[in-house]
Structures are given as structure tokens and as C-alpha cells.
Structure 1
Amino acid sequence: MISVRGVRRRDESGIRPLVGVGRWRVAVVLCTLPAVVPAAMGAVLRDSDERVLADVFPERHGQRGDDHDERRRRDDDGLLQGVEPAGEQQHDRRQSGDAAPCHQHEPTTELGPVAFADQLSKIEEYVALGRQEGGKVLHGGHRPDLDLAGYFYTPTIFTGTDNAMRICQEEIFGPVVTVMPFDTEDDVVTLANETSYGLAAGVWTRDLARAHRMASRLDAGTVWVNIYRAMSPMSPRSGFKHSGLGVEHGTEVLREYTRLKSVWINTSDEPAADPFVLKS
């Protein structure tokens, strides 16, 4: 029997895991922001007890030049003006509530509680750290006022962040997203790949050639284009870097239930040769 276990975290038990937890990155490329924000927000604000921190990268459209820094500031202001109303709408419509099926939860519930109290405290610590590091909380950043038992936290959107910040690099496991504009494909590929994790990435673009380039260059086990969290038992799923070991789903997973063994048999009647003597 081959001992294999599928997990969604780093495993220290000694049992060979299939897939560990990783980091979800969302790249927004050549799109109209209002059309993309609902998908981007939904991609990272659902399943708050298991979603890790994600980053939204909207593209700037300013030209480089002597006044590049000023153009960049104006571009960022314009982009965030696009993010703010769309993000606010998505933030406000995310209905927190009891997500357990056995509790007959309301059909409007879109965001359940985090798993346990320590995790809620960890989210609060990271949000406080993000503020200390210079990030601006566009929406959320606090516990909601709910008359419900559970460890709820409001969907939180950070702007004014830098990729070196801990809230952009470390796993939070909560409904937290950061927004960082970029100038070129090379810029966003660097931003997205500049992490120890690589579970999945999302790209929004109307340029098919760009979609293929980005899918190839992003260092993630799954890349979705103009869609997010599409899954099938027929499609293999794996994480890159610290995002896990092995493969789930697809025919490729069958290899995880096998072990490679080499067997050499001499069928001749000749005397056994000295194995440490090279043959001519």
C-alpha cells in the first residue's frame, strides 16, 4: 500500500502529501476595471477561512518620460478612482453570515467566518501591520457588527502597498486583498512571481496573445484567464514553489499512488562478474 494524503497545508507528519497550501495571485491586465473588480474581489473574498492573501495588479496606461513619476501618480489616482467605487460596491454586497449547511444559512450569505479565534487575531495583526507599513485600508479592516456567533472579519482592500511589505508576501488566510498598479508585462510578471508561493494566478485581458504569454510566464501551478476558480476532476492541479508537492486530479494524480523501482536480472549462464570491474 502506498501512503498518500491530500492536504491543503504544509505537512510535517512524514506522510507524503499531494498538495499543500499556496498563495493566490490575481493579475488584472488590459481591462476596464469596473468589469473586472467583481470577479477579482469574488476570487479572494469568498471562503475566508481558507483563502490566502491575493494581490490585484491593474495596468497603468501613462507613457514614460521626464515626468514619469508625476504621470505614475496621476495614473495611480485614476486607477484607484476606478477601484474605489467598484470595490466599495463589492465590499458592501458581501453578506457575512452562517455558512454551515446544517444551520440552514440564509441564501444571501457570501462570506462565512474564519475557522478559529487565533486565526481571526492573526488577520487583525496583519491588517494592523499593513497600516504600519504604509498601506491604506480602502475598505474594511475591522470586525463586522453582526449578531452571530463566529469569528467574522470584514472584506478588506489595501492600496498604497509595496510588494516588499509583509502583507504582500506572507500568508494571511483571510478576506484581505492588496492593489498594486503596474506599467508593463515585465513589471507585473515580476510582481506576481516575487513570492515564495505559486498555487494559482488569474489574468484578465482581451488580448489572446498576451493571455498565452502571461500564462506561460506566471510561476503558478494553475493560471485562469478571464475566469477564476474553474476546476474539474479531469484537470491536474498542483502548486509551485512552497505551495505544495505532487498533483491532485487528472490522470497525472495516478503517479502519486505509485513508486518507482529499478530491477536488474542477469539471465545468462556465465559466472557472475565482479560488479566493481568496468567492462570493455
Structure 2
Amino acid sequence: MPEHDLVDAAFTPERLNAIPMDERASEEMRAFSRRRHDDGAAHVTWWLWRTQEKHALTSLKPSQGSMFFLDCGRGPFAVTAAHVYEGFLEDRAERRVRGCQIGNVGFNPEERLIASGKNQGIDIATFRVTPEEIAATGKRIVQGTDGSWPPPPNIGEAVFFGGFPGDERIPIAAHEISFGLHSAMVPLTSHTDYQLCCQLDRESRVDVRGLGLPPEGYDLGGVSGGPMLQPVYRDGRWGWRLVGVLSEAVAAGSFERVTAVRAHFLLPDGRLSR
């Protein structure tokens, strides 16, 4: 077992629940949280395409969403939000698409599509992808279930979400872009048969990386398609289970909320079902 896993094994759920709020910003807790954030972030990547106007030699305009890889026991596939895929299709119809990639891997989503839930009212889309392509992105695969999905987390239990906001995209050179990942661990505040909601509470936020907290109303556009994961402690180790696919991030003044479509619409082969 890696050394950091041995350290984190001591942070049992019982121990974490017993820590008073005023001690949760201690350096020991911040270091534990950073490791959990890093581990969750290893499961999410970015999906980028560039467009150009059809009848003019305009500069390339980048568009993006987030994506992750899931294996429910029948081979891995890629997952994002259906509205991100529909955004790509609209761009392809109205403009010239000048390249599309997942991480640094070239990708044609129309040729790889397994299912889009647009017509079913499910904001999820899935795509065929090879293990070699996943390895080339450097990202880890989320392990799902070959059967019925477990119930959603209880209200108040912590979930992780991560994705790549467009506002964090920084051009470095003519053909080079830096992407910034936004991640958070927050309590679930409500859920329905369709979605999971986390209304963000600024009063309880802790800056675990020491980089400063995002300003009020920070635009998270671009995180759609990333995973919502629940931390799971089993056999003395921390892991994750998929609970949802990020669908919406609302930032209106002091009201901030992240919504995910529940994972139970995903079938083990990548198809979708109500």
C-alpha cells in the first residue's frame, strides 16, 4: 500500500465526523483534503474542439467541456453531458470544426457515439474509447457496477465534483493551451429520481490548496460532463463510487449550485435507460 494510503487510512469516517468545525482547517486536515482532491481529479479530463466561421478566415475559437471514463465490468467508455455533445454538433453544423480532442488524444465524437440522452430527457452522452486512448490521457477509470446502481448519498454526506471551467483556459502559444481544474468536496443538499444537487455554502469553505477561494458568482461553465463521486472507505482504504454526471453549475450572486444527473441511467455497456 502506498505511504499516502497508509496515512489516509487513519482518517476513518468516524474520526472525520468527530472533528469539530474549528479544527477542520488544520494543516493535517488540509493535507488530507488535498490528497483526496488530487485523487478525485485523476478521474476527469477535458474535451476541446476549435471552430472557425464557414465563410471567413477568422481565428480559431475553442469550446470545451469535461469528460471521464467509466468501466462497469464490460469495458471502458467515455462519459460527458449530452448538452456538451449537442454543443459540438451545433458548432459542426454552423461552423468549421478544426480539430477535436480528449486531453491530447484526437477524437471524433460522432463516430464514437454510443448513446445521447437528449431525446430521453437524460443529460448524459457516452462514447466508445480504447484502453490505449485512456492511457494516453493519463487519467484513471472510474469503476462502476454491472447491475443496479446503489442508492444516492444521504443528504448532508460529502461528494466530490471536478471539471474544467472555460474561464480557467489560458492560451500559452499558438497551438498550446493550459487548462485549470476546479474541484470541490461539498455536502449533498437535495436529490430527486433524476438529479443530485449541491447548494454551495461559502461560510463552511476551506481553502485546502492555499490559492484563495473563487470569488462570489464564479462562473463554472465548462465543468459539465465531469463526474460527481462519493468517497467510500472500505477495508482501510479510501476510494470512490460514481453517483452522477455534472450537468449544470449556477452562479447568481450569492446563490451557487451544482447539479448532476444521477448515474443510475447508465447501463454497463454505455447505453442509457430510464
TM-score range, shorter chain: under 0.3
TM-score (norm 1): 0.26
Q: Which structure: greater helix fraction?
A: 1
Which structure: larger Rg?
Answer: 1
